[in-house]
Amino acid sequence: MTAILGGGISGLSAAYYCLENPKLESIILYEASNRLGGWIKSITSASGVIFEKGPRTIRPTGPAGENTLELVEKLKLADKVIPINLQHPAARNRMIYANEKLHLLPNSISSLFKTSEPFKRRLISIIWNDLNAKHIKKDDESIYDFVERRFGRDVADYLISPMICGICAGDPQKISVHFLMSKIFQLEQKHGSITKGLLNDAFSTAFLKEKAGDKVKDSQSRLTRLAKEERWSVWGLKEGLEQLPTALRHHLSANPQLRVDLNTKCEKIRFKKDYAEVIIKGEPIQFKKVISALSAKSLAPLLEEDHPQLSRELAAIPSTTVAVVNLHYAGDVLPVEAFGFLVPPKEKLPILGVIFDSCVFKKGSDTVLTVMMGGAWFDKYFGNKTTKDEFLSIAVNQTKKILNIKENPVDHDVAVLEDCIPQYLVGHKQRLQHIENYISKHKIPLALCGSSYHGVGLNDVILSAKQAVSQIS
């Protein structure tokens, strides 16, 4: 038997890929809460609009993006896909709020040759900065330090810092460069500059891509080919992104090989010579293999008794808490059509950013916004005593001020997502290597998947589940 711990999107995906593997005959998925789907949650408000409490869009690019589209197609969700192409305002217009103003970020090659606030120079000059920056040999550094060193402080403050806030609600001065820019960091380390590295990489791979082109195209799913032909930027699902875990749940429930136990928390894991013991409600249950889709923070105490070293490494991967406030306004109250705006940490505001949901996915003539708050600065601004009414008041007041909204929302929802996004701090890559080496050295029948390890995005999480199943099979 195989045990899957956790019923979020990674655990559900792991169960799906287990059922595709004929070597894995009996699977039990344990979920501690009363629902499946994890942080993906789409609710219908009292006023009848969809509020997303977690992610709402997915990128179609790269192997991980293509894998997700293939999964969506196999789950017969293709007719629910809502594509957003590169010409859509939500794809073209992304903003930051700095110096008490909204600023549109560069969205074309020509815009790099213009001086636009909050920058005091043409951004094309970053190439000159990079070519003249001192080359320093490092294994890792913060993404802020790397960008400041190669491109300048203004790029670190106004481009990379708000981006990190939007992706993982993290502090860019602590997040590892490998989190988002691993490839260009490696090129810089090898060639002395990013520009030289990218040019060298482009020349060396162009021929190989041309040769492999037809073969790759033949292996792609219909949705992947469509995404490329129509130049999708992102995509979502009708009725909300929770349609994805819902479809997975329905697919799994139809298979007698798999059992799902809700409200069932794993209390401890012991690894014997030929099997694993998973302690459920005080009783040991034997499994040949275990796939953990729990966060590293949640998995750590389960292994502490028998494997304290592994437990310490897992516990050292922290996570951050985000408050999510959804707001519904009657009519169109936005000053511009865009994906939304992010707030650089240097502005010292209690919000991370605002997503314009009704611009990304039309909600009739009304406006729906999602305000993200806290993250790495949750304790600084809120602590553990802030009430939902106080979160709502802060969200409404900040959006009114920044977007010049006069009206009050007709509906809202407030949620505090505790420890929802793992933080890949400097040294994360080395820590993962220690974890993988330990599991391999001690021949532990354990595979890890989920957002704690190789990416926090949905594509990364789903692909990690597929890889975890291949490791134990």
Look up the pTM and report it.
Answer: 0.93
Spell out the residues 6+ positions from residue 97 whose beta carbon is closer than 8 angstroms to its own. Answer: 103, 341, 342, 343, 344, 347, 349, 402
Amino acid identity, position 11:
G
Angle in degrees, CA 176, 13, 172, rounded to 5 = 15
Residue 102 β-bridge partners? 97
Q: Which pLDDT value is given to residue 203?
A: 65
pLDDT of the residue at 108: 77
pLDDT of residue 124: 87
User: Residue 397 has what pLDDT?
Assistant: 97
**Encoded tokens for 323:** 């408050």
Residue of 359, 357, 370 whose CA lies nearest to 414: 370
Peptide bond into 63 cis (omega under 30): no
Both tokens assigned to 55: 């992610």
Q: How far apart are CA 220 and CA 93, in angstroms?
A: 30
SS3 state at 422: strand
In 3D space, the residue among 449, 453, 441 whose CA is nearest the CA of residue 471 turns out to be 449
pLDDT value of position 209: 53
Q: What are the average pLDDT values for consecutive 10-residue runs of the chain, which has 473 residues?
A: 96 96 90 96 94 96 96 96 95 95 87 82 86 88 96 95 96 96 91 86 59 56 94 96 97 93 96 91 94 97 96 97 97 95 96 97 90 97 93 97 96 97 98 97 95 97 97 82
| Single-letter code of the amino acid located at 194 | I
DSSP-based three-state secondary structure for 374: strand
Return the pLDDT at 472. Answer: 84
Of 354, 326, 317, the C-alpha closest to 338 is 354
Give the C-alpha separation, 176 to 425, whole Å.
5
